[in-house]
């Protein structure tokens, strides 16, 4: 643990970058939480759930309690850029490795405790039970890793991280199916709060884990020279997984073309798709993780395209989808406007819910065809991919999952909101039933907002 202090101290020492780690706490707090005895044997006993759940082994709660008592230490995009930018050397790689090593078990422990607080009939659902086992296995693996002191230690640590990332690609479908199956057993609002916490924490763990893997790849690259300018070697547009100068217009153009191609694939190669018109501050740039912004914009445009096609199927021409880009001193705002008929009034209230919404049985059937899901735009295509990482390289997710674009899972909008709020942004939808919708996405322009890990007040 000693190696973490130089890391956080160097971050705090940077002028005007607000690089210290705020000591934010999860919604769980040791003072307000029940004692360990309040969970006598929630998963400690051997049991089977309805639907043939796996059998769980006995585990003492003492170790988990010690990690739940620790708060997570959120990090910002600016911190990720600073620490992985110029002068990436062995000391920085090892320090960041120890930050990830100590942070992952804490963040996982809080989510395990969230699952233990659910009613017994929910946690014994076979899908949620599988997620619990994955989380507990990962928690045990990461908490037992000793302090990293050499590059060789870091390489071994990275292998464990890669293995865990791949294993956890089943988490989103399992969570979604478990929540849909339990929607009549627990108030939907409670299930939605649980899903938001789990998914936001999942994003947070993958961000720091994949950032470390990407920085390690950069450090091990034969073209990496620690003392050189970052513009002197390949892959320099990215700092790990972060794109410091993400261009708003280019993202909309690239993602829009991809969304149009997906619509043609789903509706037929000769089907019509609406034009996407971009206006506003077209030169706007901001730091972001491209896979996040691409997923959000992609889901918004896919929804608008399909709604427009369905609403104007008998028309000679399709009205265009308009994307307005606006930058303010602190924020970048995207407005996506369509004339796709709006959202029916009876569906509007459940638009952001994972547990509620129409056609639950159809969604369950569709999820059963998606064994793995990374929640990226890239998994919706099998050949080319967008530029979510540096040219010629794939992220640890982009080639591991794929799913048919025509499957409607009912979680595109709520998942997009989780992504937006993770970096202190927002996502809102205004519908004029019978005419169309306006969706507003607001994100931080400066990259100085820390991960939003605490759901109090959300």
| DSSP secondary structure of 45-100 | S----TTTPPPPPP--HHHHHHHHTSPP---BHHHHHHHHSTT--HHHHHHHHHHH
The tokens of 5 are what?
């202090």
* Element containing residue 332 per DSSP (H, E): strand 331-338
Which pLDDT belongs to residue 237?
83
Beta-carbon contacts of 20 under 8 Å, excluding residues fewer than 6 positions away, are: 8, 11, 12
CA distance to 122, 254, 258, 391, per residue, from 385 (Å)? 38, 10, 9, 10
430 pLDDT above the threshold of 50: yes
What gap in Å lies between CA 303 and CA 300, rounded to an integer?
Answer: 5
Across all residues in the chain, what is the average pLDDT? 83
407: confidence class by pLDDT, cuts 50, 70, 90: confident
Place of tokens 């405790």: 113
Q: What pTM did the predictor assign?
A: 0.83
Q: Of 131-145, 173-187, 380-394, 403-417, where does mean pLDDT reach its minimum?
A: 380-394
Query: Comparing 86 with 272, which gets the higher pLDDT?
Result: 272
Query: Comparing 38 with 169, which gets the higher pLDDT?
Result: 169
Q: How many residues does the chain have?
A: 458
Say how many Å lie between the first and final Cα of the chain, rounded: 33
Beta-carbon contacts of 236 under 8 Å, excluding residues fewer than 6 positions away, are: 230, 390
Which pLDDT belongs to residue 335?
98
Beta-carbon contacts of 384 under 8 Å, excluding residues fewer than 6 positions away, are: none
Which ranges of 268-325 would DSSP assign to H, the alpha helix?
Answer: 290-311
Q: At what angle do helices 90-117 and 151-167 cross, to 10 degrees?
A: 30
Q: Of 36-50, 58-72, 276-290, where does mean pLDDT reach its minimum?
A: 36-50
* Element containing residue 164 per DSSP (H, E): helix 151-167
For the stretch 222-254, pLDDT in tens is: 665 555 544 433 445 899 999 999 999 999 999
Query: Comparing 11 with 116, which gets the higher pLDDT?
Result: 116
Which pLDDT belongs to residue 236?
55
Which pLDDT belongs to residue 224?
58
CA distance to 111, 118, 139, 189, 354, per residue, from 195 (Å)? 10, 12, 19, 10, 7
Q: What percent of the chain has pLDDT over 90?
A: 65
Place of tokens 């400066």: 446
417 pLDDT above the threshold of 50: yes
Q: Residue 75 in contact with residue 450, Cβ under 8 Å?
A: yes
User: Looking at the DSSP assignment, which residues form a beta bridge with residue 437?
Assistant: 338, 431
Q: What's the rounded mean pLDDT across residues 349-359?
A: 90
Beta-carbon contacts of 184 under 8 Å, excluding residues fewer than 6 positions away, are: none
Q: Residue 389 in contact with residue 290, Cβ under 8 Å?
A: yes
- Burial of residue 175 (CB within 10 Å: 0-12, 13-18, 19+) is buried
CA 42 to chain centre: 28
What gap in Å lies between CA 248 and CA 425, rounded to an integer?
Answer: 15
What gap in Å lies between CA 173 and CA 195, rounded to an integer?
Answer: 12
CA 391 to chain centre: 22
User: CA 413, 414, 415, 417: dihedral to nearest 10 degrees?
Assistant: 90
What gap in Å lies between CA 353 and CA 359, rounded to an integer?
Answer: 13
Nearest CA among 134, 126, 111, 106 for reference residue 202:
111
What is Dmax (Cα atoms) for the chain?
A: 68
User: Residue 448: helix, strand or coil by DSSP?
Assistant: coil
Place of tokens 């690239």: 254
Place of tokens 């028309």: 315
């Amino acid at each position: 643990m000693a190696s973490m202090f130089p890391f956080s101290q160097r971050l705090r020492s940077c002028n005007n970058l607000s690089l210290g780690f705020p000591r934010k706490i999860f919604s769980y707090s040791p003072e307000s939480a029940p004692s360990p005895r309040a969970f006598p044997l929630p998963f400690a006993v051997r049991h089977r759930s309805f639907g043939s759940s796996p059998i769980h082994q006995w585990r003492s709660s003492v170790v988990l309690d010690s990690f739940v008592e620790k708060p997570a230490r959120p990090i910002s995009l600016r911190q990720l850029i600073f620490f992985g930018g110029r002068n990436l050397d062995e000391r920085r790689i090892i320090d960041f490795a120890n930050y990830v090593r100590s942070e992952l078990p804490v963040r996982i422990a809080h989510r395990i405790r969230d699952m233990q607080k659910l009613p017994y009939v929910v946690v014994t659902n076979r899908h949620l039970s599988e997620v619990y086992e994955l989380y507990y296995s990962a928690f045990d693996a990461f908490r037992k890793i000793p302090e990293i002191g050499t590059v060789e230690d870091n390489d071994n640590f990275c292998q464990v991280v890669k293995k865990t990332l791949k294993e956890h690609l089943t988490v989103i479908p399992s969570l979604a199916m478990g929540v849909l199956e339990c929607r009549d057993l627990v108030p939907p609002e409670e299930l939605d709060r649980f899903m938001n916490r789990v998914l936001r924490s999942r994003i947070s763990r993958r961000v720091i884990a994949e950032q470390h893997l990407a920085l390690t790849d950069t450090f091990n690259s034969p073209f990496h020279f620690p003392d050189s300018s970052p513009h002197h070697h390949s892959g320099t547009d990215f700092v790990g997984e972060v794109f410091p100068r993400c261009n708003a217009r280019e993202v909309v153009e690239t993602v829009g073309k991809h969304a149009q191609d997906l619509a043609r694939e789903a509706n037929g190669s000769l089907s019509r798709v609406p034009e996407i018109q971009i206006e506003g501050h077209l030169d706007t740039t901001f730091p972001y993780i491209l896979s996040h912004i691409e997923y959000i914009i992609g889901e918004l445009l896919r929804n608008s395209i399909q709604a427009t096609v369905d609403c104007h199927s008998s028309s000679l021409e399709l009205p265009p989808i308009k994307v307005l880009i606006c930058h303010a001193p602190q924020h970048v705002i995207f407005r996506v406007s369509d004339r796709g008929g709006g959202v029916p009034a009876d569906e509007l209230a459940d638009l952001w819910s994972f547990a509620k919404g129409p056609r639950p049985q159809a969604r369950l059937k569709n999820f059963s065809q998606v064994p793995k899901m990374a929640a990226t735009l890239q998994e919706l295509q099998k050949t080319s991919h967008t530029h979510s990482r540096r040219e010629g390289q794939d992220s640890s997710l982009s080639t591991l999952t794929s799913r048919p674009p025509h499957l409607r899972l009912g979680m595109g909008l709520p998942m997009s909101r989780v992504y937006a709020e993770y970096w202190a942004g927002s996502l809102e939808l205004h519908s004029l039933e019978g005419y169309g919708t306006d969706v507003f996405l607001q994100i931080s322009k400066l990259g100085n907002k820390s991960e939003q890990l605490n759901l109090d007040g959300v």
